[in-house]
Amino acid sequence: MLPVLPVLVPLGAAALSLAAWGRPRAQRALGVAGTAGLLAAGLALFARVSADGVQVVRLGGWPSPFGIAFVADLLSAVLVVLAGVLGLAAAWGSLSAVDAPRQGHGYWPALHVLLAGVAGAFLTGDLFNLYVWFEVFLMASFVLLSLGGTRPQLAGAVRYVVMNLLSSTLFLAAAGLLYGMAGTLDLAELSQRLRAHPSPALVSAVAMVLLSAWGIKAAIFPVFAWLPPSYAAPPAPVAALFAGLLTKVGFYAMLRVFTLVLAPAGAVPRELILALAALTMVTGVLGAVAQGEIRRILAFHSVSQMGYMLLGLGLGTPLALAGSIAFLVHHSLVKSNLFLLSGAVELTSGTDRLDRLGGLWASRAGLGIVFLVTAFSLAGIPPLSGFWAKLALLRAGVDAGAWGMVACAAAVGVLTLLSMTKIWGEAFWKAAPSGPAAAGPAAGARGGPAPAGPPAARGAAGLLLPAGALALLIVGLGLAAGPAMRVAERAAAGLSDPSAYVRAVLGPGGLR
């Protein structure tokens, strides 16, 4: 039952908050309670998986590979906990930073459905079911992204929707082709059957289709152009949730299927993934350097950091995979938090354009401290979480003798620090610009309350609380780096040797 709970809790919360349509107080309470419930379910699942190994639930009692199984290994459990943490932070921030009309028009149900879809994608053990969960959270993300209907939102939404639908179509085609080749969609059974497939070239071709499909979702080079406009437009808590979770689901799908299904069949193009990783890192960070708005800078960094995760997947050693997983968790927390903070900056100053910001350190020292901690973690300053994840990836690169990749990752780290100091210097450190330009341009342009009024101050304070909590978590993760990395290593061990996963799903005789 436990592996299904992280899907059932948000779905239940979504149904209840649909039933509570028109009663904002009930919906808001459900928003916090539902996401907290998801976090609790995730923690319970994590404790069980950590103690007893891989957990499997067969829906309808059909044995694998005929039925659809929900499988929770350590990686899935960690990611579900992550979804719970980010969901709770976003819901908490939404209470004050999302305006009442949006909250009254389906914001809360869409939030819960999004989390249910993400948790389902993390937990399913069936390729077609993975596609269905992708569609579930995509649909919810379409609603969250376009809700409110301002022009920048619609412009971002069109790109996001078209690119993601193209990606879904590719995914579906690949699932169909794999079924045609192997006669099953169960991931564990697929991994066993494809290993003995007579034509490895055919498997490689399907692997390329999957790489294209999930590459679009994960926003890697050269298909990341949809990401910056769609992360720059919606209200801050929505952007935080998107930045923390959505691209990560695409990467999770790669991590799972490439290690479990395609690596035994010898169909993972490691050199190609490494090349894409390097290009993603570099183009993302260079794009960020050219931007002059906080949200766009952060969005381009999301692209760049995806390159680090791909680097781990491309190297493929247990240490590299552990680094990838640690980086995924660290980056979700940090990037989510930075988007929350950018929302707080917008609500206090009315804009996130760096040339119109300034003097925030003098007026909002608390905001400054939380931002500084989070931004330093993104740049990988020891002893914060980003440092340990990057260290593991760099060590794995050195072990594999991939010196070009190591140099590239280190250089991109320096440029990341440069971008963060740019935001710090412009928004917090320099004197506040005087004159009418400093006043907010479009009131409430990003879906928060109108800036510079009492509701805006409340909104900014309401974002600062969850952001502070996330920052504490980031510091804690850095201080407890030893235990955290051990969890990542155990999760990675389950990926590089998937026999425990296969045995848990198919039974002791399933491993061939």
Partner 1 sequence: MGPWIALAVGGLWAAGIFLLLRRSLVKAVLGLALLGYATNLLLVAAAGAARRAAPIVPPGAEALPAGAADPVPQALVLTAIVIGFGVQAFVLVLLKRLHAETGSDDLDHLEGRGP
Residues that bind partner 1 (CB under 8 A): 128, 132, 135, 138-139, 142-143, 146, 149, 151, 154-155, 157-158, 161-162, 165-166, 168-169, 172-173, 175-177, 179-180, 185
Angle, helices 385-399 vs 454-479, to 10°: value is 40
- What is the Cα Rg of the chain in Å? 22
Provide the sign of the torsion angle of the four alpha carbons 139, 145, 148, 154, taken in this order.
negative
Minimum distance, C-beta of residue 283 to partner 1, in the bound complex (Å)? 21
Are the C-beta atoms of residues 11 and 116 closer than 8 Å to each other? yes
Smallest distance, partner 1 to C-beta of residue 122, A: 20
Q: How far is the CB of 174 from partner 1 (least distance, A)?
A: 10
Residue closer to partner 1, measured from CB, 33 or 165? 165
Contact between 378 and 341 (Cβ < 8 Å): no
Which amino acid is located at 439 in the chain?
A
Tally of CB atoms within 10 A around 163:
19
- What is the closest distance, in whole angstroms, from the C-beta atom of residue 282 to partner 1 in the complex? 26
* Residue 41 or 138 having the CB closest to partner 1: 138
Task: Report the nearest approach of partner 1 to the CB of residue 157 (Å).
Answer: 6
**What does the CA dihedral 214, 175, 61, 260 come to, rounded to 10 degrees?**
-60
Q: 């952060």: which residue's tokens? A: 298
Q: Which is nearer to partner 1, 30 or 143 (CB)?
A: 143
Q: Minimal distance in Å, beta carbon 14 to partner 1? A: 16
Cβ neighbors of 410 (< 8 A, separation 6 or more) are: 394
**For residues 221 and 89, is the Cβ–Cβ distance under 8 A?**
no
Which structure tokens are listed for 138?
């995509």
Pick 157 or 370: Cβ nearer partner 1: 157
Burial of 437 (C-beta count, 10 Å sphere; 0-12/13-18/19+):
exposed
Nearest 5°: CA angle at 337, between 335 and 341? 115
What is the smallest separation between the CB atom of 444 and partner 1, expressed in angstroms? Answer: 17
Q: Least CB distance from residue 149 to partner 1, whole Å?
A: 6
Nearer to partner 1, 47 or 162 (CB): 162
| Minimum gap (Å) between residue 146 Cβ and partner 1 | 6
Smaller CB separation from partner 1, 33 or 135: 135
In the complex with partner 1, the residue whose CB is nearer, 167 or 342, is: 167
Of 197 and 270, CB closest to partner 1: 197
User: Which residue, 159 or 490, has its beta carbon nearer to partner 1?
Assistant: 159
- How far apart, in whole angstroms, are the C-alpha atoms of residue 31 and residue 224? 31
Question: Whose Cβ is closer to partner 1: residue 112's or residue 331's?
Answer: 112
DSSP states of 396-421 as a string?
HHHHTT-HHHHHHHHHHHHHHHHHHH
Identity of the residue, 168 or 204, whose beta carbon is nearer to partner 1 in the bound complex: 168
- Helices (H) and strands (E) counted in the chain, each on its own, are 22, 2
Q: How far is the CB of 145 from partner 1 (least distance, A)?
A: 10
CB of 152 to partner 1, least distance (A): 8
In the bound state with partner 1, the residue whose beta carbon lies nearer, of 177 and 480, is 177
Least distance to partner 1 from the beta carbon of 275, Å?
24
388-423 burial code (b ≥16 CB/10 A, e <16): bbbbbbbebbeebebeebbebbeebbebbbebbebb
Question: Cβ distance 242 to 234 under 8 Å?
Answer: yes
Q: Give 353's strand partners.
A: 293
Q: Which long-range contacts (CB under 8 A, 24 or more apart) does 282-289 make?
A: 282/307, 282/408, 282/412, 283/221, 283/222, 283/224, 284/221, 284/224, 285/412, 285/415, 285/416, 285/419, 286/415, 287/228, 288/415, 288/416, 288/419, 289/415, 289/418, 289/419, 289/422
Question: Which amino acid, 86?
Answer: L
| The pair of three-digit structure tokens given for residue 388, joined into one six-digit string | 């340990």
